[in-house]
Amino acid sequence: MNYDVVIVASGKGQRAKLGYNKAFYKMKDGKSVLEHSAHLFIEDTDCKKIIIVTNEEYFSEVFENEKVIKTVGGKERKDSVYNGLAEVKSEYVLIHDAARPFLHKNALEEIKVKVSETGAAVLGRMAVDTIKIVDGDKVVKTIDRNTVFMAETPQAFKTSIIKDCYARCEDVNFTDDTSLVESLGYEVSIVIDEYDNHKLTAQEDFKDL
């Protein structure tokens, strides 16, 4: 399958307390978090284009590669993804967080297979803790954790599906791209990630990188 990947790197990352965009934090090997998040796509011959969405002030810090193009981010994440999708030409597209530099090759291959079969797929892991639904300070219900899935990225789509959803999303509130797709009537398949693919968020996440 041929696909493009949109890597969203336009967040402020205020919880990281770095004073700059966390995607450009330099890890011990001298490469940025962003470059680590993109390296599997650089190596994957199925990936035809890597679309980095970030603020113009960081364009000069984006690593150079023949697959890479840069486009400007928007006010909110959905605006940034929309801008990235405008550059997508391949039949499939993956949308990935710049702050997830630990994606495993096996997980990438599995989500590629799943999206080619179903049209929309999300990578993630099963919840390990007991999940409670609460109202104020009262527990309303305990959820079977075997039915709870913690969504990660990349999230993968047939390009025509995700572009259709973004064209119709003006009045839709969503926290990730698969929730948008679900809300507009498309089915999304799950790929369980058995590897460490955590998102760098808080200040302590950047220790020992």
For the chain, domain boundaries: 3-206
Check: CB of residue 69 under 8 Å from CB of residue 132: no
Class of domain 3-206: alpha beta
DSSP letter, residue 22: G
Peptide bond just before 154 cis, omega within 30 deg: yes
Q: Look at 17-21, 100-104, 112-116 and tell me which has the smallest mean pLDDT.
A: 17-21
Query: Does pLDDT of 37 surpass 90?
Result: yes
| pLDDT score of 125 | 94
**pLDDT score for 191:** 97
Q: What angle do CA 162, 88, 168 make, to 5 degrees?
A: 30
pLDDT score recorded for residue 143:
93
String of DSSP letters for 132-169: EEEETTEEEEEE-GGG-EEEEEEEEEEHHHHHHHHHT-
Beta-carbon contacts of 147 under 8 Å, excluding residues fewer than 6 positions away, are: none
Mean pLDDT of the chain: 94
| 4 pLDDT higher than 90 | yes
How confident is the model over 49-78, as a mean pLDDT?
Answer: 95
What is the per-residue pLDDT for 158?
98
Return the percentage of the chain with pLDDT > 90, whole number.
84
pLDDT band at residue 186 under the 50/70/90 scheme = very high
- The pLDDT of residue 5: 98
**How far is Cα 96 from Cα 167, in angstroms, rounded to an integer?**
20
